[in-house]
């Protein structure tokens, strides 16, 4: 499979783009004319540089406002085309993208355009070049791939073909299955982009809001299934105009692109087994069965404070690692590892961020299969030297330096707790009824959210919920939840735009994206709250204004309301059930625990309560009488 990406899709100079694209694993590149013009090197040098980087220069674009012009304007358009053909020959690129005209004097007429393309094809063929025609969604006369195809069909020249772009087809809600009737060998190139479903002007939407397949709401898979059904065997390229990506880290964005393209083509192949996609086989998305463990890196006073908090939360230190400074704390199905090693990944994480969640372990059906998929999608595997008798548990680097381990029963990895740990019960009193990890909440910059959601949704079988806005007294935080279909593994992504929000302050303190809170589930929040307070746990205080509003919003039994108020429990409800939650006070630079109960099949995360929770946390964290800012 030939993969490619347009230089417009990422940030930097042309040289930085070339390096990032090559490093991400693409086979080729679409060069956007502006990127070339801004470069100081000659066309020959640029072409040679691209090939030296191991990339094929697959497309030169765009050539605008060509077809359907009258008299002298037409002659001038051909003159311009000849100049660009000269340039392409120097660059060493044989295909140009001509996008449908928006010229105010373009006349329209399928046959007129076809004649123009027949002549252009003849001129291109003399130089061994080819011409591809793409319908822009806002083209003056041609704005639908079906019309562009009719122009190409009537031009009837072997050097003239069609270029398809998923954005232009899907943005206009044109049925992608209409592509199935186009002969695959007449399609010269395919560009892919997704986009979020927002109502706006097509041109503005296209130039600013495109994103990687899988990051938006368009049916790019359906589009690509139709393309592959035609027998198309050419390059599959990303063309993503996005303001955030233009300013983002080029290597990360290029890697996201590669991940999105490989995941998409894998989906296409699974849905359309007849399609000829020469993609090496790798396992389907992993179905995560649950959280096997959460590992904190902690040292010194922070470690003592964390252990104290774990004890008041009803955890018991049940085992220690045979050779490392790792303690295992358990309750219900929950395992928390406290890592106080002075070398290795946990130690580096602690040095960089202070007390932090440095590792997430997931229960999967095949750990090796999950690793294989992650690597096929471009993830790096993660390894540390193994001590005697230690299990080689497959792991990868997530984003932002995070690490994920995969445990399964089939290969005995789930036995790590008895193999590598020695039981060492601390004799603490019984638990408080916490049963399992409900979700892990990660905080990141707003502009990193797409990378993280793409990472999880391409590797694991997870659904995204729509993004919600959370109002912090000092700014906005966007929040999006990802969940396995059965809800056994859930992650919430919180994107901060300013350091003044609670999430933004945590992000600044922890030097990058990381877990800010861990939500643990009980089946009886009132019993749990009672047991917690008996152990000296102090819940985050919630003001009585909140309970007065609850009484107004929901038809709640007065006794229930009183019990919630007494225990600082927040409440929410949806069509499927009710939700109760309480919070710990912040620890170690702004992390916290949440304790929750889902009643019925409540599917949310208590988002309506977030502004009140944040304000309550800020009251505790902000020294009294200090002006903010
Ligand atoms: O926005 C544009 O002008 C533009 C140019 C070239 C393309 O391939 C495209 O899809 C859009
Ligand atoms: Mg395009």
pLDDT tens by residue, 186-205: 999 999 999 999 999 999 99
pLDDT for the residue 281:
92
CB-ligand 1 contact for 134 (6 Å cutoff): yes
CATH number at residue 110: 3.20.20.150
pLDDT value, residue 95 = 98
Query: Do 227 and 253 fall into the same domain?
Result: yes
State the ligand closest to the CA atom of 138: 1
Q: Are 121 and 250 part of one and the same domain?
A: yes
Q: How far apart are CA 326 and CA 213, in angstroms?
A: 41
Asked if residue 276 belongs to a domain, the reply is no
594 belongs to an annotated ligand binding site: yes
Whether the pLDDT of residue 629 is over 80: the answer is: no
170 CA → ligand 2 middle, Å: 12
What pLDDT is recorded for position 340?
A: 97
> CA–CA separation, 428 vs 314, rounded Å?
9
Cα of 191 vs centre of ligand 2, distance in Å, is: 6
Domain boundary among 390, 423, 456: 423
Indicate whether 417 and 444 sit together in one domain: no
Domain shared by 75 and 175, yes or no: yes
Cβ–ligand 1 contact at 165 (below 6 Å): yes
Query: Which residue of 34, 60, 61, 62 sits with most ligand 1 atoms within 8 Å of its CB, as the best mutation to test the pocket?
Result: 62
Rounded distance from Cα 72 to ligand 1 centre (Å): 25
Average pLDDT over residues 116-143: 98
Instruction: Provide the pLDDT for residue 141.
Output: 98
pLDDT at position 628 is: 45
Atom of ligand 1 nearest to the CA of 207: 1
* Residue 428 is assigned to a structural domain of this protein: no
Residue 49 counted as domain residue: yes
> Taking Cα atoms as reference points, which of 201, 332, 253, 361 lies closest to residue 24?
253
pLDDT band, residue 441 (cuts 50/70/90): very high
- Are both 367 and 317 inside the same structural domain? yes
In a domain, 153, yes or no: yes
More confident residue, 201 or 627: 201
In the predicted structure, residue 593 carries a pLDDT above the cut 60: yes
CB-based burial of residue 482 (10 Å sphere; 0-12 exposed, 13-18 middle, 19+ buried)? buried
Residue whose C-alpha is closest to residue 256's, from 440, 403, 447, 445: 447
242 lines ligand 1 (CB under 6 A): no
Q: Is residue 207 part of a domain?
A: yes
% of residues, the chain, pLDDT over 70: 99
Ligand 1 within 6 A of 433 CB?
Answer: no
Helix (H, G, I), strand (E, B) or coil at 171: helix
Domain boundary among 240, 271, 302: 271
For residue 610, is pLDDT > 60? Answer: yes
Q: Which of 207, 237, 271 is the last residue of a domain?
A: 271
DSSP secondary structure letters along 16-30:
HHHHHHHHHT-SEEE
517 is known to lie in a ligand binding site: yes
For residues 471-497, give the mean pLDDT. Answer: 93
- Residue 284 covered by a domain: no
By residue count, the chain amounts to 629
For residues 36 and 118, membership in a common domain is answered with yes
The answer to whether 345 is annotated as binding is: no
Instruction: Indicate the angle between helix axes 558-567 and 525-534, nearest 10 degrees.
Output: 40
Q: Cα separation of 110 and 96, whole Å?
A: 20
Query: From the CB of 480, is ligand 1 less than 6 Å away?
Result: no
DSSP H or E stretch at residue 326: strand 326-331
Q: Are residues 408 and 489 in the same domain?
A: no
The CATH number of the domain where 520 resides is what?
A: 3.10.180.10
Rounded to 5 degrees, what are φ and ψ at 569?
-95, 130
Which residues are CB-neighbours of 234 under 8 A, at least 6 positions away? Answer: 2, 187, 188, 189, 190
Residue 498 and residue 381 share a domain: no
Contacts of 496 (CB under 8 A, 6+ apart): 443, 444, 445, 446, 475, 477, 503, 504, 506, 507
333 with 391, same domain: the answer is yes
Question: Looking at the domain assignment, is residue 629 inside a domain?
Answer: no
239, 242, 243, best to mutate for ligand 1 pocket (most atoms within 8 Å of CB): 239
Residue 316 main-chain phi, psi, to 5 deg? -120, 140
Question: Are residues 415 and 441 located together in one domain of the fold?
Answer: no
**Structural domain count of the chain:** 3
Whether residue 65 has its Cβ less than 6 Å from ligand 1 = no
For 592, the 3-state DSSP assignment is strand
Tell me if 191 is assigned to a ligand binding site.
yes
Cα separations (Å) of 410 from 367, 388, 403, 406? 9, 22, 22, 12
**Span 30-41, pLDDT tens digits:** 999 999 999 999
Residues 221 and 318 in one domain: no
If you ran DSSP here, which 8-state letter would residue 514 be given?
E
Distance CA 11, CA 7 (A): 8
Q: Give the pLDDT band (50/70/90) at residue 44.
A: very high
The answer on 296 and 263 residing in a single domain is: no
ipTM of the complex: 0.99
Residue numbers of the domain that contains 180: 3-271
């Amino acid at each position: 499979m030939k993969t490619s990406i347009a230089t417009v899709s990422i940030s930097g100079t042309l040289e930085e783009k070339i390096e990032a694209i090559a490093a991400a694993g693409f086979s080729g590149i679409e060069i956007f004319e502006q990127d070339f013009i801004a470069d100081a090197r000659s066309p020959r040098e640029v072409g040679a540089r691209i090939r030296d980087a191991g990339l094929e220069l697959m497309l030169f674009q765009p050539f605008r406002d060509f077809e359907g012009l009258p008299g002298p304007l037409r002659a001038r358009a051909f003159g311009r085309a000849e100049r660009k053909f000269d340039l392409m020959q120097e660059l060493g690129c044989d295909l140009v993208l001509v996008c449908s005209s928006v010229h105010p004097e373009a006349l329209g007429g399928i046959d007129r355009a076809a004649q123009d393309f027949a002549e252009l094809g003849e001129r291109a063929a003399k130089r061994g070049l080819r011409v591809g025609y793409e319908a822009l969604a806002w083209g003056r006369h041609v704005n639908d791939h079906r019309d562009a195809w009719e122009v190409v069909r009537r031009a009837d020249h072997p050097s003239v073909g069609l270029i398809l772009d998923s954005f232009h087809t899907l943005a206009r809600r044109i049925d992608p299955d209409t592509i199935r009737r186009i002969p695959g060998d007449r399609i010269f190139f395919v560009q892919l982009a997704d986009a979020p479903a927002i109502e706006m002007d097509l041109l503005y939407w296209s130039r600013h809001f495109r994103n990687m397949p899988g990051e938006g709401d368009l049916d790019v898979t359906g589009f690509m299934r139709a393309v592959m059904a035609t027998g198309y065997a050419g390059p599959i390229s990303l063309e993503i105009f996005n303001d955030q990506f233009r300013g983002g880290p080029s290597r990360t964005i290029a890697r996201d692109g590669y991940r999105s393209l490989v995941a998409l083509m894998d989906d296409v192949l699974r849905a359309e087994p007849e399609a000829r996609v020469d993609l090496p086989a790798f396992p389907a998305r992993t179905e995560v069965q649950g959280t096997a463990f959460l590992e904190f890196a902690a040292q010194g006073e922070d470690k003592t404070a964390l252990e104290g908090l774990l004890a008041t939360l009803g955890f018991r230190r049940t085992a220690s690692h045979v050779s490392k400074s790792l303690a295992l704390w358990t309750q219900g199905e929950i395992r928390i590892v406290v890592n106080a090693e002075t070398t290795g990944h946990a130690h580096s994480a602690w040095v960089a961020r202070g007390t932090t969640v440095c590792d997430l372990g997931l229960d999967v059906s095949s750990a090796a299969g999950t690793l294989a998929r992650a690597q096929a999608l471009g993830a790096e595997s993660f390894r540390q030297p193994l001590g005697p008798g230690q299990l080689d548990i497959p792991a990868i680097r997530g984003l932002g330096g995070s690490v994920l381990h995969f445990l399964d029963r089939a290969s005995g990895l789930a036995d790590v707790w008895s193999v590598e740990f020695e039981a060492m019960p601390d004799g603490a009193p019984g638990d408080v009824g916490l049963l399992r990890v409900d979700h892990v909440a990660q905080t990141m910059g707003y502009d990193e959210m797409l990378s993280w959601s793409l990472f999880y949704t391409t590797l694991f079988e997870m659904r995204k919920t729509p993004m919600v806005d959370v109002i912090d007294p000092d700014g906005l935080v966007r929040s999006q939840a990802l969940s396995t279909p059965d809800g056994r593994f859930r992650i919430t992504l919180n994107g901060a735009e300013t350091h003044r929000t609670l999430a933004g302050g945590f992000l600044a303190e922890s030097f990058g994206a990381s877990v800010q809170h861990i939500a643990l589930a009980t089946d009886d929040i009132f019993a749990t709250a009672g047991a917690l307070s008996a152990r000296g746990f102090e819940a985050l205080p919630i003001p009585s204004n909140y309970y007065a509003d609850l009484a107004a919003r929901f038809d709640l039994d007065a006794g229930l309301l009183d019990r919630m108020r007494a225990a600082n429990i927040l409440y929410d409800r949806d069509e499927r059930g009710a939700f109760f939650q309480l919070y710990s006070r912040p620890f170690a630079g702004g992390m916290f625990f949440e304790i929750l109960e889902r009643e019925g099949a409540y599917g949310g995360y208590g988002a309506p309560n977030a502004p009140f929770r944040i304000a309550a946390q800020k009251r505790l964290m902000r020294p009294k009488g200090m002006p903010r800012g």
